[in-house]
Amino acid sequence: KTKKSKASQAASTAAAPETPKLDKGELKAAIVRHLHCTLGTDENKANNHAWWKATCAAIQELVLEGLRKTQKSHYFNDTRAVHYFSAEFLMGRLLSNNMHNLNLFETANDALTELGISLTDVLEEEPDMALGNGGLGRLAACFIDSLATMEMPAIGYGIHYEHGLFRQEIKNGAQIERPDSWRDYGNPWEICRPESIQEVSLYGYVETKYGDNGRIQKEWHPGSIVKGVPWDIPVVGYGGKTVNVLRLWQSQSSGYFNWDVFNAGGYVDAQVENVQAETISKVLYPNDETEAGKELRLIQQYFFCACSLKDIIRRYKRAHGDDWSRFTDQVVIQLNDTHPAIAIPELMRILVDRAELDWDKAWQICTKTFAYTNHTLLPEALEKWPARMLEKILPRHLEIIYEINHRFMAEVEKKWPGDNAIKSKLSIIEESSEKMVRMGNLSVIGSFRVNGVAEIHSMLVKKNLFPEFDQLWPEKLTNVTNGITPRRWLKACNPALSALIDKKIGDQWPLNLSQLTELAVYADNKTFQKQFMKVKQDNKVALAQTIKELTGLTVNTDAIFDIQIKRLHEYKRQHLNLLHILALYRRLLENPSYDMHPRVFIFGAKAAPGYTLAKDIIFAINKVAEKINNDPRVNTKLQVVFLPNYRVSLAEKMIPAADVSEQISTAGKEASGTGNMKLALNGAVTVGTLDGANIEIAEEVGDDNIFIFGLTVDEVAELKRKGYSPDDYYYKNAEIKAILDWLETDYFTPGKPGALASVKHSLLSGGDPYLCLADFDSYSAAQEQVDAAYRDKTRWAKMAIMNTAMMGKFTSDRSIKDYVDRVWNLTACIVEN
Ligand code: KOT
């Protein structure tokens, strides 16, 4: 672990943060100028929201200067760039991030203080940019941060949702969804680019024609056309040199097909089409890891892919005209899961129907352009579209998909002559009662590289999901383990720990996270342990304050802060955590002197609005919390908190305060996880299964510094093969039985017996698909080890320090370097200041 790892070289091209571009006086003047000239107010009248906007505007001036220089530099160097296609970018707040990356945070703090304003309060004014559901969207945000930091030419392409992920309220214990309106009072970061508007076709029919050369030509006569309006969000790299963009498309009516109606006096009817067009980018689908098969969702996907491809091709043509021969030298497109997979047939359509390239040439370009990241193995998340739906919305694309498949099937026939079973498995078309188009297969076939997001996940992608594709193209499937940006997830969110680290090892670690290993020599140092744990304690006090404000509950800050934060899903097993909490509660009631260190269990989770059991689990957590927190027999030792509306900005407050990180998914189900990395980086000790990136975290921090429990991937497979029966555990394990039966009484829901019964029944007789009961004892034992370890203050401090020290591998700079080396083949472009 002492040798210079690959990760430590990751950011070698990145620029070190320089002296700030503005001094305090200049920044003060800029903020006040914007208060006057942009917001039309003054220092006496301005509220925090106005101060926030003025501060953003002042910072944005510098951001835009960087953007101009970057774009000039990329243009003159005719750089190859990665185009990151993602239906989600979960950016969170930008002001603090941009100030940190420009090395202006301290300056801004001083400037505002002199103006009598608290920067902390100002930062709280910013709504989260929540244009994503969870891991997949936040990964995209971390990646574009790293790309800019490492000075890579890159652009993110996505959807300018008017409403991001819903705001969660908890009413009487239950989740209520409210619309998110992140740009209601204007967003100071985004820049509208009407000069780059694109048009996208939908519906209609395909005409077959014969060209002069006797060649068959296809012409798509669309039934409607919508406009895509690009909004650019600058993405500031750490050090402030490269400023890339995130380009998000907003749909708008093109007005093209309204004229007849309009002229016939149908002014009002014409508005209906406007509304339909504008619906496309209205709202983010709130389903994480489920595929709803909704028409509007497919239209969203096509809309942003078609706009983005046109944008890319326009830029390419400006430099290279109609010469397609250099396209794949300049352009690589990364597909963030299959959500943008429709871009593959769209590029084929452009090349074959529009540019009139022959099919083979076009396919060669296509398969050198796309690379695909798989983020899940869950069958319900693998996208399939009814062929009928595609035919209606994108008739030409369906034809192209059939043609791709036809040619691919001939390849399969060559490799496995006469093997129809393999053909039907590899076919893009699933011949079920309703013909379906498998977007995963299309993505593998249309890409030159496919990656999973952690070692174990990539192994399972090869072994279980796409084994025949791996035989056919042994080089295609690979791994790139996920990462997180240490700028947001340590430097900005945990300033006290960052300052302590700076003091010990210097301030270059945000660019070279493997330097954190230098902290390991202090892991046994009493003074450093004290300092490290003092920071943790202060962060816990700060989170306790937030908990008080959000829930009214006063939590014990001497207790272990045990945190599980992630989307609510059965496979993530928040209900396993809940069962253990109930076990502790029961043990405490049965034996008031039951020996445990006080613990506060803290949850943050949103459930997809249509996922009933997930909502039931949230309800159960809240009802159990209410009971326990108000039970004087136990509440000095046990408290349970459900923090409403979990999101990026709340994560930034929770993560620095965690002692214990719950990463308890059923082995084989969590592709990687990234919250696991954020928590460990901030000195939380993981209780986790051998799943996703937990395995690699365990390798880095060492077995002494993590609590691993539960069935392994192989043991899960074996148990399922033998036939898993949860009832065996229920009848054989008195504690499990008592807990599950307890849930069915009215103990937690007075007067309403059975209100929590769905959680119990989901775990019994033919249920419990994620093996909660099978892992319960092992989990409970691991938690006892946690308890013992925490009571040994020295031991715990060492463990916490070692977690921070050994997390260097998980910087997203390393992930990006892996992509650059193994997939994108990019070179950095130095932007001169
Ligand atoms: C959602 C819908 C369809 C297909 C996949 C998803 C998906 C997967 N959404 N989030 N993920 C998560 O992606 C993260 C980043 O790679 C992983 O760390 C995490 O394990 C996935 O669950």
Tens digit of each residue's pLDDT (9 = 90 or more) over 159-196: 999 999 999 999 999 999 999 999 999 999 999 999 99
The answer to whether residues 153 and 199 belong to one domain is yes
What total of structural domains would you count in the chain? 3
Q: Out of 678, 760, 809, 817, pick the active-site residue.
A: 678
Classify residue 361: in a domain, yes or no: yes
Alpha helices in 48-199 (DSSP H): 48-76, 95-101, 105-114, 119-124, 135-149
What separation in Å is there between the alpha carbon of 674 and the centre of ligand 1? 10
* Minimum CA distance residue for ligand 1 atom 9: 136
* Side chain identity at residue 574, one-letter code: Q
What separation in Å is there between the alpha carbon of 291 and the centre of ligand 1? 12
pLDDT of residue 693: 99
> Which strands, in side-by-side order, build the sheet including 660-663?
638-642, 599-604, 560-565, 660-663, 685-688, 707-708
Burial status of residue 76 (CB atoms within 10 A of its CB: 0-12, 13-18, 19 or more):
exposed
pLDDT of residue 240: 82
Token pair for 54: 């003025």
**Residue 674 is a catalytic residue:** yes
Give which of 622, 574, 598, 612 is closest to 772, Cα–Cα.
574
Q: Out of 24, 83, 375, 760, pick the active-site residue.
A: 375
**Residue 566 is a catalytic residue:** yes
How far apart CA 171 and CA 592 sit, in angstroms, is: 32
In this structure, what are the phi and psi dihedrals at residue 599, rounded to the nearest 5 degrees?
-140, 140
* Ligand 1 residue neighbourhood (C-beta within 6 Å): 134-136, 139, 288-289, 337, 375-376, 381, 453, 482, 670-674, 692
pLDDT by 10-residue block (mean), the chain, 833 residues: 38 59 96 98 97 98 98 97 98 98 98 98 98 98 98 98 98 98 95 98 96 88 96 96 98 74 65 86 92 91 99 97 97 98 99 97 98 97 96 98 98 98 98 96 98 98 98 98 99 98 98 98 98 99 98 98 98 98 98 97 98 98 98 98 98 99 98 98 99 98 98 98 98 98 98 98 97 98 98 98 99 98 98 85
Probe target for ligand 1 pocket from 90, 289, 489, 696, with the most ligand atoms within 8 Å of CB: 289
What separation in Å is there between the alpha carbon of 571 and the centre of ligand 1? 12
The answer to whether residues 463 and 499 belong to one domain is no
**Residue 183 is a catalytic residue:** no
Classify residue 657: in a domain, yes or no: yes
Give which of 654, 645, 562, 661 is closest to 606, Cα–Cα.
645
Token pair for 267: 């002014």
How far apart CA 380 and CA 292 sit, in angstroms, is: 9
What separation in Å is there between the alpha carbon of 241 and the centre of ligand 1? 31
For 566-595, how does the pLDDT look when each residue is reduced to its tens digit (9 = 90+)?
999 999 999 999 999 999 999 999 999 999
Atom of ligand 1 nearest to the CA of 288: 1
| Centroid of chain to Cα 66 | 26
The answer to whether residues 406 and 495 belong to one domain is no
Q: Out of 107, 373, 557, 674, pick the active-site residue.
A: 674
What separation in Å is there between the alpha carbon of 672 and the centre of ligand 1? 8
What separation in Å is there between the alpha carbon of 609 and the centre of ligand 1? 18
Atom of ligand 1 nearest to the CA of 138: 15
Q: Out of 183, 247, 567, 575, pick the active-site residue.
A: 567
* Minimum CA distance residue for ligand 1 atom 10: 136
Q: Please report where in the chains the tokens 């309800």 appear, as a residue.
A: 619
State how far the alpha carbon of 182 is from the alpha carbons of 296, 492, 529, in Å. Answer: 21, 22, 41
Q: Out of 53, 462, 566, 573, pick the active-site residue.
A: 566
pLDDT of residue 16: 55
Probe target for ligand 1 pocket from 285, 376, 443, 565, with the most ligand atoms within 8 Å of CB: 376
Atom of ligand 1 nearest to the CA of 692: 20
pLDDT of residue 9: 40
**Residue 36 is a catalytic residue:** no
Encode 347-384: b = buried (16+ Cβ within 10 Å), e = exposed: bbbbbbbeeebeeeebbebbeebbbbbbbbbeeebbbb
* Minimum CA distance residue for ligand 1 atom 8: 375
State how far the alpha carbon of 404 is from the alpha carbons of 448, 470, 670, in Å. Answer: 15, 19, 32
The answer to whether residues 532 and 594 belong to one domain is yes
Give which of 679, 672, 669, 668 is closest to 694, Cα–Cα.
672
pLDDT of residue 300: 98
Atom of ligand 1 nearest to the CA of 134: 10
The answer to whether residues 549 and 578 belong to one domain is yes
* Minimum CA distance residue for ligand 1 atom 11: 136
Please state the length of the chain.
Answer: 833
What separation in Å is there between the alpha carbon of 163 and the centre of ligand 1? 21
What separation in Å is there between the alpha carbon of 453 and the centre of ligand 1? 9
Atom of ligand 1 nearest to the CA of 88: 9
pLDDT of residue 5: 41
For 774-829, how does the pLDDT look when each residue is reduced to its tens digit (9 = 90+)?
999 999 999 999 999 999 999 999 999 999 999 999 999 999 999 999 999 999 99
Atom of ligand 1 nearest to the CA of 373: 16
pLDDT of residue 291: 79
* Minimum CA distance residue for ligand 1 atom 6: 289
The answer to whether residues 506 and 440 belong to one domain is no
What separation in Å is there between the alpha carbon of 665 and the centre of ligand 1? 13
Atom of ligand 1 nearest to the CA of 457: 20
Probe target for ligand 1 pocket from 89, 131, 136, with the most ligand atoms within 8 Å of CB: 136
What separation in Å is there between the alpha carbon of 297 and the centre of ligand 1? 17
Classify residue 6: in a domain, yes or no: no
pLDDT of residue 18: 67
Classify residue 209: in a domain, yes or no: yes
What separation in Å is there between the alpha carbon of 137 and the centre of ligand 1? 8
* Side chain identity at residue 192, one-letter code: C
The answer to whether residues 650 and 629 belong to one domain is yes
Probe target for ligand 1 pocket from 165, 337, 375, with the most ligand atoms within 8 Å of CB: 375
**Residue 567 is a catalytic residue:** yes
Classify residue 474: in a domain, yes or no: yes
Q: Out of 572, 606, 623, 669, pick the active-site residue.
A: 572
Classify residue 759: in a domain, yes or no: yes
The answer to whether residues 738 and 760 belong to one domain is yes
Atom of ligand 1 nearest to the CA of 139: 15
* Minimum CA distance residue for ligand 1 atom 18: 673
The answer to whether residues 477 and 504 belong to one domain is no
Which domain does 120 fall in, by range?
14-77+98-126
* Minimum CA distance residue for ligand 1 atom 1: 289
* Minimum CA distance residue for ligand 1 atom 13: 136
The answer to whether residues 192 and 136 belong to one domain is yes
Classify residue 829: in a domain, yes or no: no
pLDDT of residue 1: 33
Classify residue 183: in a domain, yes or no: yes
The answer to whether residues 625 and 708 belong to one domain is yes
CATH classification at residue 529: 3.40.50.2000
What separation in Å is there between the alpha carbon of 630 and the centre of ligand 1? 37
Alpha helices in 591-657 (DSSP H): 612-629, 648-654
**Residue 647 is a catalytic residue:** no
What separation in Å is there between the alpha carbon of 20 and the centre of ligand 1? 37
What separation in Å is there between the alpha carbon of 381 and the centre of ligand 1? 9
The answer to whether residues 113 and 36 belong to one domain is yes
Give which of 59, 67, 44 is closest to 97, Cα–Cα.
59
